[in-house]
Structures are given as structure tokens and as C-alpha cells.
Structure 1
Amino acid sequence: MSDQELLTEFLFAAEQGDTDAVKKCLAAGVDINATNRQGRTAITLASLNKHYDCVALLISAGADINKQDQTCFNPFLISCLNNDLTLLRLVLPAKPDLDRLTRFGGVGITPASEKGHVEIVRELLTHTDINVNHTNFVGWTPLLEAIVLNDGGAKQQEIVKLLLDHGANPHMTDKYGKSPLTLAREKGYHQIAELLVAAGA
């Protein structure tokens, strides 16, 4: 089998979650961090398809968990974007680079805060030292994203409270100088506004 055929088989096996085939390819000397046309490694393909046994196998075999594809996906960021707590808990012990950016310039907690992924946000704040005040390309912190880009409902209130309890700065404004409190009030999110006031906003 040529190197290219071996690689194709390896990436397909990871995408399908076929751990036996993945092991065979590794034993045959395939490059564990080689990518497909989208820049996706085997571990990224396995992560996207929720093949957790395969992800665990590739981590233990030494896969680069930080390598990002053309859309900036890697296993850690996939777990944050897709609300995949099982994947996150698999990846965290492998010490992922928490500073890797999504295509919008956020860190993992940014999209998780925006999308209402409460358990992901809690896991990140409790078990990592991810930068809770990171500002993305459009000038928004996770706290601002949690307020501006969602519905102000119970999940968002819980996320705002979690962020504030773990050091989110309630005074960091968007690029127009609007504070989280101003934005919460503009949107009529009274419970979130109360949380911000209680945190000293």
C-alpha cells in the first residue's frame, strides 16, 4: 500500500470510528498528524463524529490535539462549539492549548458562552485557567457574547453568573464603549442586569 493509500484509509477509519483499522494504520507507520484537504487530522475527524474511543486511542498514541483545520477546528474547540462535554473531558487531561482561536478570534469559552453551553462553561471555569476576559476579533469578551448574542434566558443568566464568579470583568466594554450592563439593559435582560450590578458593574 502506498503512503497516500495508507493515509486515506487512516483518515477514513478515524472518521468512521473504526479503532481496529486506526490501530493497523498506526502500526503500519502512518503519520498520525497528517491531514485531509480541509486540513483535518484523524483526531479532528474522530472528534467531529463523536467517536470517543477513537479520540482516546489517538491521544494515547501521541496525536497533536492542537493542530487546527482550515476552519480553525481542533478537538478542544469542537467540544466547546458543539456542547460536547464527553469530548471536552477526554481532551482536557491531554493539556490542550487553551489560547487557540476560533475563526472569529475567540477562545473556547467564547462560543460556549454565546451558545448557552452551561456545562462546558462550568467545566472550563472549574478545571482550566482559560482567559475569561479574552477579547475576540469583533471586540467582545465571553461575557459580552453571552449577553449580546443570545436570548437572555435561564441558560444565559447562569453563564453570566458563572463568568462573573470566575473573574469576568463587568467593566470591559465593546468596541463602541458599551458596557455589559448597558447592553443587558438595552436588550431588556433584567435578571442579567441584576447579576452585573451585584458584581459591581
Structure 2
Amino acid sequence: MMVGPALASGPALIEAAASGRVDEVVRLLQAGAPLEAQDAGGRSALLRAVAGDHVSAAKILLEAGASPNTQAANRDTPWLLAGALGRAEIIAAMLPRKPDLSIRNRYGGNALIPAYERAHVEAVRLLLTSGIDLDHINDLGWTCLLEIVILGDGGPRHQQVARLVLDAGADPSLADRDGVTPLAHARQRGQQAIARLIEQAGGR
């Protein structure tokens, strides 16, 4: 069976997006390249643009109708990966497309949890405007607040994102599977500034 030229241009669009070749992305879209074509790993053109931090290419794909929800074999979506990598400008462009907040990554987490772990401050600010679940618990039994404490360094950026999620209304006392609260973890790790923030928010 012969493959039409538009369908055959799917891999080319993915590679152009992965390399940030904006002119080529535009040309391929105008030629009818399928927006949701996926490579051998299930990665779409938009996902590859997010991975490479190619903001212009990502915005063009979104404006053309690319979905932030197309899931790759490793369970990444463009939205989830943008949160994990702190792609604030791309997240801002995705927000009007109303990403599916129910899709989970390979750790059972949402976009917020890895953004907090890595203290992507500007990405976190944007994610908090999306209606995302502040108290979602991933497969490890951790919320984003627990990830800040357990996997963070307690430094200024982690303090900043801790303050953001607590001010947004996250439950400061949701414990891990062993019943250890964020406050207890913070104290055990000597993260005094974050411990104070949790206490001020009513954490025990």
C-alpha cells in the first residue's frame, strides 16, 4: 500500500520539531503533515519540541492544534514533560488548550510533582493556575510538598516553591505511607526554613 505524502511527512515534522527548525515545521504543516504522528517511542512533534526547549516550534504546533495530551510509550505527554523540565513559556502557551490534568506520568504523578522536586519556580507559578490537584499522591505515596522536602535541598528555590504551594492551599500535613509528615521530614533533614513555612501553614 502506498503512503500519501502528507502521512509520510509525519516523521519529518517530528524531527524538525526536535531540532527546532521552525521554517521546516511551518512548511510541513502547510503541506498537511499529521500533527499527532508519533515516532518509535510514541513521541509526538510537540513532545520533541518540549524536550528540546524549542519554544517557537512548540507554539506553532500548539497554534496548529497539536495536543498537549498525546502520551508516549514512557507515559510522558507534552504537558507532563513541560512541567518536569520547567518549560514555563511552553506551559503558558499550553494553558489555553486546557490540558488533561488527569493523565499521570510513569510514577503516577501529575505535572506539578516533578516541577516541585526540581524547584522550577516560574513553571510552578503557571501550573498552579491550571486547576491542578495540589495534594495528588503519586505511586511512591508522595505529594508535591513531600517531594520538595524529601528530594529537594532545602535551599532558596525549594523554599520558594514550598511557599507557593502552601499559599495555594495544599494540605501541609498529608503524610507519606509510613505516616511521616512533611514537617517531620523537614526537621529530620535540617530544612529549618521549610519546616517553619509548613508550621506557619498549620502543618503538624
Aligned partner of residue 91 in structure 1, secondary structure: helix
* Residue number in structure 2 paired with 1:109: 112
Which amino acid in structure 2 is aligned with residue 70 of structure 1? A
Tell me if structure 2 keeps the 8 A contact 1:133–1:169.
yes
1:83-119 deviation line (CA, Å, top 9, x unaligned): 2211111211221112321211111110011111122
TM-score by length of 2: 0.90
Kindly indicate whether residue 30 of structure 2 is the aligned counterpart of residue 27 of structure 1: yes
Mapping 1:80-95, distance limit 5 Å: 80-95=83-98
**Shift of the alpha carbon at 1:17?**
2.3
What's the C-alpha RMSD, in Å, of the aligned pairs? Answer: 1.7
2:164 to 148, 162, 168: 162
How far did residue 25 of structure 1 move? 2.6
For 2:32, the aligned partner's letter is G
Amino acid at match of 2:196: E
Distance 2:43 2:153 in 1: 33
AA aligned opposite 1:29: G
Q: Which 5+ residue runs of structure 2 have no aligned equivalent? A: none
* CA distance in structure 2 between the aligned counterparts of 1:138 and 1:106, rounded to whole angstroms: 9
**1:145-184 Cα shifts (integer Å, max 9, x gaps):** 0111111111111111111111110121100011111111
Superposed, 1:8-27 pairs within 5 Å as 8-27=11-30
AA partner of residue 55 (structure 1): A
Deviation at 1:51, TM superposition (A): 2.0
Judging changes above 3 Å, is the alpha-carbon distance between structure 1 residues 169 and 15 closer, same or farther for their aligned structure 2 residues? same
2:70 and 2:120 map into 1 onto residues whose CA distance is 23
After TM superposition, give the deviation of residue 23 of structure 1 in Å.
3.1
CA distance in 2, matches of 1:123, 1:29: 32
Residue identity (%): 37
Structure 1 residue 8: deviation in Å? 2.4
Count of aligned residue pairs for this structure pair: 200
Secondary structure (helix, strand or coil) at the match of 2:9 reads helix
1:57, distance to aligned residue in structure 2 (A): 1.6
| Partner residue in 1 for 2:53 | 50
One-letter identity of the residue aligned with 2:27: K
**Aligned partners of 2:17 and 2:25 also within 8 Å:** yes
Q: Does the CA-based 8 Å contact 1:75-1:87 persist in structure 2? A: no
* Aligned counterpart, 1:60: 63
Whole-Å Cα distance in 2 between the matches of residues 20 and 159 of structure 1? Answer: 37
Deviation at residue 71 of structure 1 after TM alignment: 2.0
